[in-house]
Amino acid sequence: MAANRMLVFFARHKVAGNLLMALMILFGLLGLTQLNRQLMPDFTLEQIQIDITWPGASTQDIESNVIEPMEREFMLLDNLDRVYATSFEGRAVVQLDFDYGSNMAKALTDVQSSVARVATFPQEMERPIVRLLTPTEVICNIEISGPFTESALKAYAWEIRNALLQRGVSSIRMSGLRKSELRVEVPAETLRRLDLTLDEIAQRIARSSLDLPGGTLDTDRISRQIRSERRARTAGELGELEVLSNESGERLQLKDIARIHETAADGEVERRVGEHASINMNVRRSRGVDSMLAQQGVESYLDEFRATAPASLKVELFDVFADQVTQRVNMLLVNGAGGLLLVLAVLYVFLGGRPAFWVAIGIPISFLAAMAGMAAIGLSLNMISMFALIMGIGIIVDDAIVVSEHAGTLYNSGVPGGKAAERAARVMFPPVLAASLTTLAAFLPILLVQEEVGSVVKELPLTLGFVIAASLVECFLVLPMHLRTALTKQGKPAPWRIRFDEGFARFRQGAFTRMLQTALRQRYASVTTAVCLFLLSITMMATGRLGFDFFPAPESDLVFANFSFTPGAPRRESEIMVAELGRSSRAAERSLGYAPGELIYFGVGSVATRDPGVGNAPLEVSADHLGVYTIELAPGDTREVRNEAFIEAWKREITRSPGVEKLIFFSRQVAGPPGNDVELSLSGASLEDMKAAAVYAAGWLSAVPGVDSVDDDLPRGKQEVLLEITPAGEAMGFSAAEVARQVRNAYEGALADRVPRDEEELRVLVKLPEAGPGEAGLRSLYLRSRSGVEAPLTEVVDLRQRVGFSQIRRTDGVRQVTVSADINPTMTTSGQVIRAMQEQGVMRTIREQYGVAINFLGRAEQQQMALEDFQMAAMVALGSIYIVLAWVFARYAMPLVVMSVIPFGLVGAILGHLAFGFNLSMFSLVALLGLAGVLVNDSIILVSAVQRHRDEGEPLMDALLHGAQERLRPVLMTSMTTIVGVTPILFEGSLQAQLVQPLAITLVFGLALAPPLVLVYVPCVMAIGGDLSRWSRVRRARRQPDARPASLTG
């Protein structure tokens, strides 16, 4: 056999193994330099976003005139999964989600074509911007503030942004950078006196303010470019433009009829740190960029910038993701090193010094080789892949233990060291290969889990696949040569080792043998006991003793407070509330016993926006009645106060301003799929009915202990004034479109020009003075028809009022309202809340009383999809394991005996989660698949030993007893090494370990049951199988007629 010849060649060759080891190290070190370090794995986005701007339009106008026509076009797109559309006042955002793995370049072209086919867009709407969303990860946030003018702060912000982009930062999102406008305010009386409209003045500005090329002037000696530069870029230059001239040559300039000034655009986001304005820069990395290197580049530049910037300019870093990456990498490295030392101790005790050394050397060699493979397919070093490497310690050692222990047994029985190592490699290769294949069969189906959860967990099976492949190469092509030398040069064992080996032999021949013999005699009771334990564990889950927390993640250091006044409230009210949130947060810090700056590292307030929170699309909503205050607390591992406790203290200190409709406090999780813990989707009714249903659902959720941050996404808007043209207005020549345009110009302004200046674009707007618009101003507004007829607005239209909504969301062409809430995992779970809603009739009441359809979105939807994918992955894994075992044993029934241990891994996992106070999670389920592979591996080795004894002619009971005795030591060693490898994470007290601790709990407690399951339960099942075979043979014999009389007569 070619495999055996290769094994023998590498075992006997003096340098082949070392050369292969050197190559594994070399390629591993090269791969290590190519691996990016980041918080979580990269993922893909099959999403396209369309940004729409229609100044002055109401939410419902945008929905009916823009969104609905686009949705009809999108129905023809291929591979389209969902269409999400959100309408705001004056703008809208549409997000198209495509099927996983779609060709997004083609999808982008198709979407652009679909948008271009819409011929009914309003004339005043700006051209839609269609863009492909690319996944990015936050590196850090930079906040600059100080006693400077807004233009000075902008200049500093642009300087920092441009420098960072030049140094390789992928992208920077800026907030608080208010757009400037040049406003030309013309009184209504002046317009009537000059017989002009706002539109006409805007057109004259556009014609007069131009930069035009004039051609090329060529002479004998030089060529010159001719240009006409008349574009006005300042209020002064704009005022010099000519508006009118009479027959006598008298010129009327714009400054003569209008007030011209530069100001910030209405509704722009404004940020403040303390008493000073600030600008935020959200620095992000794209796929393939190392988070820690990017952060080092940012900090290096900021150090240079601070050295030359004014001392009063504060440049502060907060929400630094690279710090979290460093903390988590260090946590895994420290615990991995601790686990490795424990593994070495176990190996030394069981194998001795030299063999243990070479077994341990295989760990870094296999890791390096695995990293070469990881780098080759674009994986990274992150929380998931690094934990996979820690899990790989047990897998690597398991393979090497089996070979080393068998070689040691042969050597102790008199076989020379070289022959012992060679024979151990040949004998153990088939079962170890089968065990590795079953482990791969258990883990690789995790790749079937798709969407966001699949993107997060996919690096676990891929990394383990490389570890297993590298471990096989090292174990059978490198290790035998080293074992040959180690066994030959092994000196006289130390006295303690002699005593240990003698004690272990007594245990194996004495207590263990007696226990196994008793279990085999009482095999039916033994199996029944195991089944009862399994059923008891399932009962704990079914009765709610053990909950399910889909994707637990440690809390972040950021805490937010969103608030909203009644729509239409003056901006000043929001500014006062932001200041109060800042004051009360510092008071909360003092009330918790901290000095200033010890608990709160940073705080910033924002007016006219809100933080979208977990699970919402990053839609920046701008409205004067909104605000948010953001706080960065000290790192979680350095403080005793948890986020929930700080929020409660903050709530106690705050003085709520009159008119505040909503005040919601929340904190984000560091990682995990998008979506709130609870998201209830309501659809299929009028907006008013859906709003009433949302209020009812929110009220019920708010009363549930452990449920926080309850909100809905259908906020009331400002009072809307509806204009309906009268027959008299039509008779005067007015149209609805003309009336709407003139009113919009009065309020929003007629766009005259867009002027590029420095790093921004200035809009030049012609409008009535600020004092003009309003209820009284609207009624006194004069309109002019195309025929020149001038009339007051009230003679042209009827006015009526209604309260609209400032935001309307649609999904796949259907209006939708989402009620969202976050869960305190120490008090309840999203599954328990959803189950309570169903059991207490909340869902039925909403359907019957309000006539709406109800669905669960967010993490509940993600959980359902992920669990469906996981069920498919589990079935594929079990089927693959069966195929591998059937191939190994060349039997159909024996694989079922081996696989019967798999369900019992759940017993240990459930007991472990209960003992440590954890709920089961998606990571627990992923670890269960891996645990299944490990349990099957140990069972394969045992069954192979039993079959070998049976082939030598031993009765079944003797073969079971001798096989279990023979495999006791390697089974204990493989279980112990894997357990001690991940045990340090189990007792890690840092918050950073919370994400991977369910994995560790499942493995540790599941493997703690491996020795009794493999060494006792499997032999009992095999003995019962033997009973059934004997019973079947006896039954068949009784049914056959006696053949002896026939032979006598023949």
**Cα-Cα-Cα-Cα dihedral sign, residues 509, 515, 521, 527:** negative
What CATH number does domain 556-669 carry, 3.30.70.1430, 3.40.50.620, 3.40.47.10, 3.40.50.720?
Answer: 3.30.70.1430
CA 69-75-77 angle, to 5 degrees, is 120
2 by Cβ neighbours in 10 Å (0-12 / 13-18 / 19+) ranks as exposed
Question: How far apart are alpha carbons 56 and 138 in whole angstroms?
Answer: 33
Scored b (16 or more CB within 10 A) or e, 1032-1049 reads eeeeeeeeeeeeeeeeee
- pLDDT at residue 612, rounded to an integer: 64
- pLDDT at residue 209, rounded to an integer: 62
Q: Is 1037:961 a contact under the CB 8 Å cutoff?
A: no
Which candidate, 185, 254, 257, places its Cα nearest to that of 745? 185
E-assigned strand segments in 99-241: 129-132, 136-145, 171-175, 180-185, 211-218, 223-229
Question: How far apart are alpha carbons 853 and 856 in whole angstroms?
Answer: 10
pLDDT band at 887 (very low <50, low <70, confident <90, very high): confident
| pLDDT more than 90, % of the chain | 29
Please report the DSSP string for 888-906 in residue order: HHS-SSHHHHHHTTGGGHH
pLDDT band at 432 (very low <50, low <70, confident <90, very high): confident
Question: How far apart are alpha carbons 493 and 475 in whole angstroms?
Answer: 25
Domain with CATH 1.20.1640.10 in the chain: 1-34+343-489, 496-545+891-1038
- pLDDT at residue 775, rounded to an integer: 62
Question: How far apart are alpha carbons 475 and 469 in whole angstroms?
Answer: 10
> Where are the alpha helices (H) located in 260-320, listed in sequence order?
291-308
pLDDT band at 970 (very low <50, low <70, confident <90, very high): confident
Q: At what angle do helices 842-850 and 830-839 cross, to 10 degrees?
A: 60
Does residue 332 surpass a pLDDT of 70? yes
Question: For 530-555, what is the mean pLDDT?
Answer: 81
pLDDT band at 942 (very low <50, low <70, confident <90, very high): confident
Question: How far apart are alpha carbons 468 and 470 in whole angstroms?
Answer: 5
Question: Of 422-436, 593-607, 689-703, 770-784, which gets the smallest average pLDDT?
Answer: 770-784
- pLDDT at residue 1049, rounded to an integer: 34
Domain with CATH 3.30.2090.10 in the chain: 187-213+225-257+719-805
For the chain, the C-alpha Rg in angstroms (whole number) is 37
Question: How far apart are alpha carbons 943 and 940 in whole angstroms?
Answer: 5
Q: Which CA distances in Å does 1017 have to 515, 893, 897?
A: 12, 16, 10
Question: How far apart are alpha carbons 354 and 407 in whole angstroms?
Answer: 13
* CATH homologous superfamily of 496-545+891-1038: Multidrug efflux transporter AcrB transmembrane domain (1.20.1640.10)
Q: Which two tokens stand for residue 985?
A: 């994470």
Other Cβ atoms closer than 10 A to 828: 18
Q: Which residue type sits at 111?
A: V
Question: How far apart are alpha carbons 346 and 360 in whole angstroms?
Answer: 11
Scored b (16 or more CB within 10 A) or e, 659-669 reads ebeebbbbbbb
Question: Of 102-116, 294-308, 734-748, which gets the smallest average pLDDT?
Answer: 734-748
pLDDT band at 1035 (very low <50, low <70, confident <90, very high): confident
Q: Which CA distances in Å does 769 have to 188, 763, 774, 805, 997?
A: 8, 17, 11, 27, 63
Residue 723: helix, strand or coil by DSSP? strand
Q: Which two tokens stand for residue 73?
A: 């076009």
Does residue 280 surpass a pLDDT of 90? yes
Which candidate, 861, 705, 721, 761, places its Cα nearest to that of 231? 761
- pLDDT at residue 451, rounded to an integer: 66
Does residue 189 surpass a pLDDT of 90? no
CATH architecture type of domain 187-213+225-257+719-805? 2-Layer Sandwich (3.30)
Q: Under CATH, which number does the domain 1-34+343-489 receive?
A: 1.20.1640.10
- Residue 101 backbone class (left: φ over 0; alpha: ψ -120 to 50; beta: rest): left
Strand partners, 181: 263, 763
Question: How far apart are alpha carbons 554 and 772 in whole angstroms?
Answer: 53
Question: How far apart are alpha carbons 840 and 837 in whole angstroms?
Answer: 5
Q: Which two tokens stand for residue 444?
A: 């690789």
- State pLDDT tens for residues 1005-1017: 988 888 888 889 9
Question: How far apart are alpha carbons 557 and 290 in whole angstroms?
Answer: 22
Q: Cα dihedral angle (755, 761, 763, 769), rounded to 10 degrees?
A: -120
pLDDT band at 605 (very low <50, low <70, confident <90, very high): very high
Which candidate, 464, 517, 347, places its Cα nearest to that of 972? 347
Q: Is 560:611 a contact under the CB 8 Å cutoff?
A: yes
- State pLDDT tens for residues 890-925: 888 888 888 888 888 888 889 898 888 888 887 788
Q: Which two tokens stand for residue 446?
A: 């995790």
Other Cβ atoms closer than 10 A to 811: 17
Query: Residue for token digits 């929905």?
Result: 63
- pLDDT at residue 1043, rounded to an integer: 47
Strand partners, 603: 631
Q: Which two tokens stand for residue 305?
A: 């910038």
Question: For 993-1022, what is the mean pLDDT?
Answer: 86
Q: Is 974:402 a contact under the CB 8 Å cutoff?
A: yes
Strands 760-767 and 180-185: parallel
CA 279-283-286 angle, to 5 degrees, is 155
Question: How far apart are alpha carbons 62 and 371 in whole angstroms?
Answer: 52
Phi and psi at residue 471, to the nearest 5°: -65, -40
Give the distance from CA 24 to its chain's centroid: 33
Q: Is 619:86 a contact under the CB 8 Å cutoff?
A: yes
Which candidate, 430, 424, 365, places its Cα nearest to that of 8? 424
What 8-state DSSP symbol labels residue 92? E
649 vs 228, higher pLDDT: 649
**Using a CB cutoff of 8 Å and minimum separation of 24, what contacts does 332-336 make?**
332/383, 332/386, 332/387, 332/390, 332/985, 332/996, 333/386, 334/984, 335/390, 335/984, 335/985, 335/988, 335/993, 336/386, 336/389, 336/390, 336/393, 336/984
pLDDT band at 673 (very low <50, low <70, confident <90, very high): low
What 8-state DSSP symbol labels residue 146? -
Q: Is 444:461 a contact under the CB 8 Å cutoff?
A: yes
Does residue 549 surpass a pLDDT of 80? no
Q: Which two tokens stand for residue 784?
A: 């002019």
CA 717-723-724 angle, to 5 degrees, is 135
- State pLDDT tens for residues 700-742: 999 999 888 888 888 888 777 888 888 888 888 888 888 888 8
Question: How far apart are alpha carbons 79 and 365 in whole angstroms?
Answer: 44
pLDDT band at 789 (very low <50, low <70, confident <90, very high): confident
Domain with CATH 3.30.70.1430 in the chain: 556-669
User: For the chain, what's the residue count?
Assistant: 1050
